[in-house]
Structure formats: structure tokens, C-alpha cells
Amino acid sequence: MSLVVYLAALVFGMTSVLLFRRPRTAMRNPLTLSTCAAVVLGALVFVCAAPATLATVNDLTGVPNFGAPLTYGMLSAYSCAVLVLLINWRGGPRALVRRMVLRSMAAYGLLVAAIVVLFTLADARTERLTDLDTYYAGTPFMREMILLYLLGHSAAMLVMCAVCLKWGREVGGLLRAGLRLILLGALLDVLGFQLTKYTAVVARWTGHDLDFLSTTVAPPMASLAALLCSAGFVLPRLLPPVVAHWRGLDDYRRLEPLWSLVEPVSTAPKPPTAWWQLPRARLQWREVSIHDALLALAPYFDHRVRERVRDTALRAGRSPHQARLTAEAAMLLDAARRARAREEPPATAGSYRLHATEVSGPSGLVELAQALVRPPAAALAPDGAARTSMTGSMAEPEEPHVA
């Protein structure tokens, strides 16, 4: 059982590391800070609740069952952190948010203090690592302590369910998906963990034995519920940058044909990048380098090549946009050949703005790169000069350099 609980704690811990990868920025963002606090406290709850941890804590302190108030206090702190996270996530006037956060912290601070006081007053000399809730269900002060921590956790989960239901009707996209995961986790916590705990404790009060609900059913349900809630909290925050990095890496690879063609004339320096910014930073550097190279190749643009290929593409049924891209790709191939051969600029050279320089972001460059590798582009060149420039530049390319 301890191994499963420790694995759940490890998942929580890794999630907090991803969220807290920029400590300076995170410390200034209440939402990121409260998310990390909730996730870390959730991990600590699992660590404290493991039987191996409970036995170690009891041995170190010399107090039987000292791990119980430690675990219950940590669970109450986690419940408070979840409420604080919901408050920061929902937003609103700063004064109102601050007031609600302070009230939540004060309420659960009193709860933790009450748990400690009740444990101090109770007579719990027999160490119980897995069935403490049911074993001491009828013991004075221990009974109240157990009921108090359950009620405090139930209040937090029920508030979470209500907020997720209400807010889920007002938002969409990833935020709604995250709220649904949180709601599912909270419901699983209420029904799978709390209800089974309440049932087992009440059964003890009435002279029945349903301890297996508390010792066997409740722990895995709590683990699964906490993981779902954690996924719901971090999904709207982690998935967008992950998708952005993935798209950046895809665009970076799709720009390779264009970069291989213009790399010899690019003079843009390569900036240092952090590992978590690598795909997007490399894409930005490649964009800058390609634009720099396009400026260097502009004097070699032969507009006769562009116009002939464009007209041929239009007659072949291409759309105006596709015909323009095909023509610009042919002109760029011809310009790269001239620059590599150190030829004089063509007599028809003049100012022309490529489509790739008219749109923001890498989409225009990606379209131009893909036009370079389309087989029909070479076939559309109507004369030998254009066809030679297009096929020749591809037949004898410079050795590509991958940034």
C-alpha cells in the first residue's frame, strides 16, 4: 500500500515542478503559487498517509499514532489550499479575493489547531497504521478529531463541486474540461473516500464491523480522486504551452526546405535558449534567420521568372494564392542559384514583397517552404532557364545545417 501511495505523491510532485519551473515568475502569480501549493500539499498528504511513513513518524517522536494528527492536519491544509486555488482561479476584485483567501485560511487554521488539541486530550496508546479511524471511532476526543477532519474535508469538496458546476456553465474549451475533471475527482472523493469513511465509522458506533470500507476501499478512491483533481487544475495551465511547443517544433521541421536553401546567405546569430523554451526559441531564431536571408536575396529576384510561373499556374487551374506561392518559390530558387554562383542581379530585379513577409508568425514561411518541395512547381516553369534554376538548385543543394 505504501508503494502505491508514494507513486501518487511522486506524480503530484512532478506536476508541481512543471508548474513551478520559473520560480521568480511563479512567486508573483497568485494563481500559479496557489496551484503549486495545492499540488505539493496533496503530495504531502499521500506521503504522510503511507503506513511506512506513519510508523517512522511514530518511532521518531516516541508518541503512538502521532502520524494521525499530522496526516489529518495536512489533509485539512490541502482542503484549504484547494479552496484558495478556486478563489484565485475564479478571480474578481483584488480586495474580495484577498478577504476570501484569509477567511479560508483562518477557518482551516482553527480546524488544524482543534485536531491537535483533541489528539492531545485523547487516550490513543495503541498504534494503528491502517485502521485508526475505525479502531478509535468510539474513543472520547479521538472520535471528535476523526469526525472533525472528515467534516472539514467534506466541506471543501462540496464547495468545489458547487463552484465547478456553476462555473462550468459559463466557460468553455480547456477550462471547462479542467473543471469537469475537478468535478469528477471531487465527486469520487465524496462518494469513494468520505462516504466510505463515514459509513465505517458510523458502523462502529452501532456495533457493526465495516472496517474494510475505511482500510481497503477508501485509500485508492482518495488517490484516484486527488489525481483527477490535480489533472483538472493543471490541464488548462500546462496543455496550451505544450501544444504551442509541439506546433513550434512541427513548424520548425517544415521550414527545413526553405532554411536549407537560404542558409548560406543568412547572417543572424544564434541566441542561447533554455531547455523548456527550446522548440519555440529555435523556431523564432529560424524565422529571423530566414527573413534575414530573404532580404539578402531580394536583389536577385527575377520577376520574369515569377510572372511566367504564376501565369502558367493560373492556366493550370491553381488558385491565385497557390499560383503566387508557386511563382515566389520559383523566383526564390532562381535567386539562390544566382547568389551562390555570384552572378550579377538580373536586369528586371526590383522591389517585391513576398507573401511570407506580409503575414505575422511562421505560417507564411511554412507555406513558402512547402511550395519549394511540391513536384508541380518545377513542371510549371515554362522555359529552360526557369526550369534549370529550380531543378538545379535542388539537385546541388548546400549541405543543410540544422540549428
pLDDT digits (tens, 9 = 90+) for 108-163: 999 999 999 999 999 989 999 888 999 999 999 999 999 999 999 999 999 989 98
Q: Which residue has better confidence, 198 or 11?
A: 198
What total of structural domains would you count in the chain? 2
Does 384 score more than 50 pLDDT?
no
Element (H, E) at 26: helix 23-27
In a domain, 325, yes or no: yes
Length of the chain: 403
Same structural domain for residues 137 and 203?
yes
Q: Which residue has better confidence, 233 or 380?
A: 233
Write the pLDDT tens digit of every residue in 78-102: 999 989 988 888 778 889 989 999 9
Same structural domain for residues 203 and 350?
no
Is residue 86 within 8 A of residue 96, CB to CB? The reply is no
Same structural domain for residues 51 and 195?
yes
Write the pLDDT tens digit of every residue in 183-196: 999 999 999 999 99
pLDDT value of residue 249: 83
Same structural domain for residues 9 and 40?
yes
pLDDT value of residue 228: 86
What is the CATH number for 69?
1.20.1070
- Final residue in a domain of this structure, among 185, 211, 241: 241
Alpha-carbon distance of 83 to 312, in angstroms, equals 65
Write the pLDDT tens digit of every residue in 278-310: 667 778 888 888 888 888 888 888 888 888 999
Could you give the 3-state DSSP secondary structure of residue 92? coil
Nearest to 79 by CA among 218, 235, 189, 191: 189
pTM above 0.75, yes or no: no
Written as one string, the DSSP assignment of 293-332 is HHHHHGGG--HHHHHHHHHHHHHTT--HHHHHHHHHHHHH
Range of the domain at 98: 2-241
In a domain, 250, yes or no: no
Return the percent helix, strand and coil in the chain, to nearest 5: 80, 0, 20
Same structural domain for residues 259 and 199?
no
Q: Binning pLDDT at 50, 70 and 90, where does residue 238 land?
A: confident
Same structural domain for residues 163 and 264?
no
